[in-house]
Chain A
Amino acid sequence: MDDIDRSLLSLLEEDCSTPLHDLAVMLGCSDEEVEKRKKQLEEDGIIRRYSAVINWEQVDKGAVYAIIELKVAPERDYGYDRIAARISRFSNVRNLRLRTGTHDLQLLVKGKSMQEIARFVSEQIAPMERIRETATHIIMKTYKENGVLYVEREDGQRLPFSF
């Protein structure tokens, strides 16, 4: 992992559709080298996948996202890992994190409706062994996601010419 790898990663994170040749020119190396580095980063699992940042709120008007916080009793030898692995298998769980604070695990869940989220929490998550408490927070509006602004912002204007 050197500076070129790091720069390559930020470029891809920002826009993974940047043509390979442009990446090479910007990084000051050959197309082949960029290709090789990219492969290596994929093989090492540093690049997990290439995806788009999509504002689904604009597409699925009815879709509901919720943050669900869980208090969990950790297991001897495994801590939170086994229960987290179990929860992460649900495909509607978009993010799952262990965190500090009042709760232990935090999930981001996508559902078609409030009812679907409610059912998921009460029927699938809450009854699980070792789950002590749940708190569900419905997301009302997203302003920024993965560093990308979702709300229109008026940018400052520059003069067309200045010295």
Chain B
Amino acid sequence: MLSVKTDNACHSRSDQRKRDFVSERAKVIPPSGIRRFFDLAGQMEDVISLGVGEPDYSTPWHICDAAITSIEQGHTAYTSNTGMESLRRELARFLRDRYQVEYNPMSEMIITTGVSEGLDIVIRAVTNPGDEVLVIDPSYVSYAPCVTMAGGTPVPVPCTEKNRFRLTADVLMEHITPQSKVLILNFPNNPTGGVMRREDLEAIADVAIDHDLLILSDEVYAELTYEGHHTATASIEGLWDRTITLSGFSKAFAMTGWRLGYLCAPPDITAATLKIHQYVMLSAPTMSQYAALEALKNGEDAMREMVREYHLRRNLFVDGLNRIGLSCHTPEGAFYAFPSVKGTGLTDYEFAERLITEAGVAVVPGSVFGNSGIGHVRCSYAVSRQELTEAIRRMDEFIRSLP
């Protein structure tokens, strides 16, 4: 072992450990697929990053101000485990008004530290060893590892470009076994921008009911729906009592750093999940809860304005991608475009790596999000229009330079 010289001998590293202390579970979860892209981006100057999964806006100021005021007033203690009652009540109103779903703020809701925490604790609350959890593919990178850590087995269910990145009943059926218990949905989807419309969800509902599946629906991009209005999974006939709705404030209100989300579920599942939440998190950050309350009460105008801007950028960017020969399905939600790079003759990893080093544009290889993402790259259009236009110009130049 390396001997490391430190100023303080008490803290010097030693090689006296005989055992490997890292758990088997921690070992089996895969490392982040884009570590080396981070390093590449760090070495380069003038990189336009389309690799970001968060808004380019700062949180609207009135929301920040509400948090600052709460700190000034001394609201710095824990809140109730489930979150502030005022916030839960406001959230219940918001969900009813915007998505026509009813949740009781007293027994069917937990305010969480981001959707990430909600995802983890609810998966732990419903998974037994050996349970199969159907996870749409491609999808957000945390789902499968969370299932694995909870002792379940993730089963990828492809949502391909052919199906406009939606989940179809047929494909779902093909992956169901007697061990299938939970289905994880995420629409509008990260990384594809795919959206499930009401009729698409209704088709899935029949399968879920037939096979008695629980649906975990991550709807954090709900407000970022550009064609029509978002349909909440729980609002579909027959799905409410087998759906867990996960969402948060990060994307719609530009509040990623506040780490605030929520989980809504039937009372038995809420109660089981709350036990885990109590032990691992106690309560979500108090100042963030005050900020979220302000966002729900008075944040709609600023949010609409940001969504309108993403919509314009989407049109501009997707048109640009198709023009330079990267065929791209029009994403109906979120802020990602997921063009195919198969025509370039490069794999998605090669494309992403060469694009950043040769053209100074950072994108994420699609296979990071699952096997169905192979041959695509995820480009976030949550960057300024000037940067998008410049990114298209650089990508065009790069593609032309290929043999």
Whole-angstrom CA separation of A162 from B316 in the bound complex: 23
Contact-residue size bin, chain B (C-beta under 8 Å from the other chain)? 20 to 34
- In the complex, the chain A residue whose C-beta lies closest to that of B37 is A161
Name the A residues within 8 Å of B53 (CB-CB).
162-163
User: Is B41 touching A161 in the complex (CB atoms < 8 A)?
Assistant: yes
> Which residues from chain B contact A11 at a C-beta distance below 8 Å?
312
Interchain CB contact under 8 A, B51 and A25 = no
Taking A161-B38, A163-B141, A163-B190 as contacts, is the C-beta distance between A26 and B312 under 8 angstroms?
A: yes
Cβ–Cβ contact B52 & A162, under 8 A: yes
Q: B residues within 8 A CB of A160?
A: 37-38, 41-42, 47, 49, 51-52, 362
> Which chain B positions have C-beta within 8 A of A25?
315-316, 319
Q: Inside 8 A of B38's CB, which chain A residues have their CB? A: 159-161
Tell me how many residue pairs across A and B have CB atoms closer than 8 Å: 53
A95 interface residue per 8 A CB criterion? no
A22 within 8 A of B: yes
Contact at B58–A156, with CB atoms within 8 Å? yes
Q: Does A158 contact B362, Cβ atoms closer than 8 Å?
A: no
Number of interface residues of A (CB under 8 A): 15
Interchain CB contact under 8 A, B58 and A161: no
Q: Mark A1-23, 1 if CB is under 8 A from B, else 0.
A: 00000010001000000000010
Asked if residues A161 and B319 are in contact (CB atoms below 8 Å), the reply is no
Tell me if A28 is interfacial: C-beta within 8 Å of chain B.
Answer: yes
Tell yes or no: A155 within 8 A of B by CB: yes
In the complex, whether A121 has a CB less than 8 A from a CB of chain B is no
Tell me the B41-63 residues at the A interface (CB within 8 Å). Answer: 41-42, 47, 49, 51-54, 56, 58
A-B interface, 8 closest residue pairs, ranked by CB to CB distance from nearest: A160-B41, A161-B51, A26-B312, A162-B53, A160-B49, A25-B319, A26-B315, A163-B53
User: B residues bordering A, Cβ < 8 Å?
Assistant: 34, 37-38, 41-42, 47, 49, 51-54, 56, 58, 140-142, 190, 257, 308, 312-313, 315-316, 319, 362, 364, 385, 389
Residues of A within 8 A of B (CB): 7, 11, 22, 25-28, 155-156, 158-163
Given contacts A160-B49, A160-B52, 10 further A-B contacts (CB under 8 A): A11-B312, A25-B316, A27-B312, A160-B37, A160-B41, A160-B47, A160-B51, A161-B37, A162-B51, A163-B142
